[in-house]
Amino acid sequence: MPDYRRNRVPGGTYFFTVNLLERRRSLLTEHIDALRLAVAKVKAARPFHIDAWVVLPDHIHAVWTLPAQDCDYSARWKDIKTEFTKAIPKTETLSPVRHARGERGIWQRRFWEHTIRDDADYAAHVDYVHFNPLKHGFVERAVDWPYSSFHRWVAHGHIPADWVMSSGASELVKSGED
């Protein structure tokens, strides 16, 4: 079995990509209210700050900052996945392995994590989150995608509604972090 090593920094800021198992499904946007409830429930039990977030039909990108002395983002993602899974109808196809284990076939087992290193890295990843609906061709402007923290960033005056991504985020798009 592979040895997955996670970088854990108490109070750290992290970028995540979390995917559905079946990437052609659109469960996340079809069941956005269930996802929002799952996140709210987990945040209430195990607080964290959502710096940036985008929900696409089949995957999520997020930037979180954890409380000081806390580095357990894995448990939070596990709980979000579990709560969301319990809230939606069973319509997925199960592999024999998942069926034998009594699992659902909603999420990929793992997720991608990157520890934010500095302000430039933070800005590039937040921009990448907000640019992602454009990258995948869902909209032509970030402001047109409803499932994004972009709207909160605009409302707080951090970025204009006609925002164009930074060069740092451009490099992430070219690297294919999705």
pTM: 0.90
Q: What pLDDT is stored for residue 27 in this prediction?
A: 96
Spell 106-117 as b/e; 16+ CB within 10 A means b: bbeeebebbebe
pLDDT: which is higher, 56 or 165:
56
pLDDT mean across residues, the chain: 91
Hey, what amino acid is at 136? H
Count CB neighbours of 142 within 10 A: 25
Q: What pLDDT is stored for residue 1 in this prediction?
A: 47
Return d(Cα 52, Cα 114) in angstroms, integer.
14
- pLDDT band for 104, please (50, 70, 90 cuts): confident
The residues near 132 (Cβ < 8 Å, ≥ 6 apart) are 54, 56, 61, 178
Return d(Cα 81, Cα 86) in angstroms, integer.
9
DSSP 108-134: -S--EEEE--SHHHHHHHHHHHHHHHH
**Domain boundaries 13-175, corresponding CATH code:** 3.30.70.1290
User: Three-state SS for 72?
Assistant: coil
Return d(Cα 130, Cα 138) in angstroms, integer.
12
The question of whether 147 is a catalytic residue gets the answer yes
Catalytic residue among 14, 73, 122, 147: 147
